[in-house]
Amino acid sequence: MVGNSPAMSEVYQLVRLVAPTPTTVLLTGETGTGKELVARAVHELSNRASGPFVRVNCGALSESLLESELFGHVKGAFTSANENRTGRFEAGHGGTIFLDEINSVSYTLQVKLLRVLQEQEFERVGDTKTIRVDCRIVAATNRDLLDEIEAERFREDLYYRLNVVPIYLPPLRGRASDVPDLVEFFVKMYAARNGRPVPKLTKEAIDALKSYSWPGNVRELQNYAERALVLMQGDEFTADLLPPHVRGLAPVRIGRPAASGPEKRAEELVTLGLSEYADEKRPFEKVMSLVERELLAQMLRQCQGVQIKAAERLGINRNTLHKKVTEYGLDSESR
């Protein structure tokens, strides 16, 4: 993993603390933030490092296929079951099983998962023989599981069993200081693969990369680094090698629908803040504080003032939320 920002330093510290234990870990964060890398780090730093690391993408399979994939099946269990098959939990015995996109697991299948987490045992599909396994579980999601619970798509008991040690992976836009190191890492990697000298990154290129919002996070950055190396003709990584939208040159889409709901409210706040603070020093910080206060107030209202729940939904530390509540005078909104 690459990056020395405070947000990533906190991730590294949590990984080092939890890895030597058998504790279940829940990784949360947007797509492309590196959840699988963290899962592998938890495995490699544990006493199970010599055992298997088994990854299952729960979102890529239907309910019936996922059940067979996780727990295995016996011959004749269903039409295409022509022989006995070992599931991923058996294959991961003595090691770590990484359940990616855990939010995609059906409500019915979640019951069997809960049993494995609690009892470390299950039956293959179509069989009555109980199989015991010793697996360390690391799960990941890019969705807010509390919202999934409220929508009755995710079991509350399973959530609390998974959420023993939560680790939040920050989006790349929240750690812009890591961008130069990440770009350098990827450029060196692709230069070596293509048998080319490592190019020098220009200041303009670095500034453009640091200013971009990175909706696709580190995965998007990796793609653009490879693209630049392919298109490069000299020995410098220049800004013109980046897509126009990364450089802030993408045209505004014609017929863009008007904002509504939270987006409209955010636009109103920014407009209000700009008109009020535009002539003052450091307007960016003041406008962002205005938007941040509104976000915290709305989330606290949605969570009936429960700070623990609000902090989880926001993806921030409870102590951080408490400080913000005091800073913005939101005590009447929270309890």
Residue 246 has pLDDT above 60, yes or no: yes
**H or E element at residue 293:** helix 283-302
Find tokens 């902090």 and name the residue. Answer: 311
Residue-wise pLDDT tens digits, 127-171 = 778 888 899 999 999 988 998 998 889 999 999 999 999 999 999
Residue-wise pLDDT tens digits, 308-331 = 888 888 888 888 888 888 888 888
Tell me the residue type at 203: K
**Regarding the domain delimited by 261-333, which CATH topology (the fold level of the hierarchy) does it fall under?**
Arc Repressor Mutant, subunit A (1.10.10)
Q: What is the mean pLDDT of the chain?
A: 85
The answer for residues whose C-beta is within 8 angstroms of residue 60's C-beta and 6 or more apart is 101
Binning pLDDT at 50, 70 and 90, where does residue 254 land? very low
For residue 282, the model assigns a pLDDT of: 66
Residue 120 has pLDDT above 60, yes or no: yes
Q: Do the beta carbons of residue 41 and residue 1 sit within 8 Å?
A: yes
Residue 256 has pLDDT above 60, yes or no: no
For the chain, counts of helices (H) and of strands (E): 14, 9
Find tokens 């729940």 and name the residue. Answer: 309
Query: Residues 264-287: what's their mean pLDDT?
Result: 64
Class of domain 6-170: alpha beta
Query: Residues 95-112: what's their mean pLDDT?
Result: 91
Binning pLDDT at 50, 70 and 90, where does residue 245 land? confident
For residue 252, the model assigns a pLDDT of: 41
Q: Find the angle CA(74)-CA(89)-CA(69) to the nearest 5 degrees.
A: 55
Query: Residues 54-75: what's their mean pLDDT?
Result: 83
Cα gap 104→110, rounded to integer Å: 10
Instruction: For residue 256, give the DSSP letter.
Output: P
Cα gap 270→286, rounded to integer Å: 10
Cα gap 62→52, rounded to integer Å: 25
Segments making up each domain of the chain, as ranges: 6-170, 174-241, 261-333
Name the residue with higher pLDDT: 54 or 282: 54
pTM above 0.85, yes or no: no
Q: Got the DSSP string for 183-244? A: HHHHHHHHHHHTT-PPPEEPHHHHHHHHHS--TTHHHHHHHHHHHHHHH--SSEE-GGGS-T
**CB crowding 140-151: b at 16 or more within 10 Å, else e:** bbbebbbebbee
- Residue 235: burial class (beta carbons within 10 Å; 0-12, 13-18, 19+): exposed
Q: Do the beta carbons of residue 214 and residue 171 sit within 8 Å?
A: yes
Looking from the CA of 13 toward its CB, the CA atoms found within 13 Å total 7
Pairing of β 130-132 and β 121-123: antiparallel
Binning pLDDT at 50, 70 and 90, where does residue 251 land? very low
Class of domain 174-241: mainly alpha
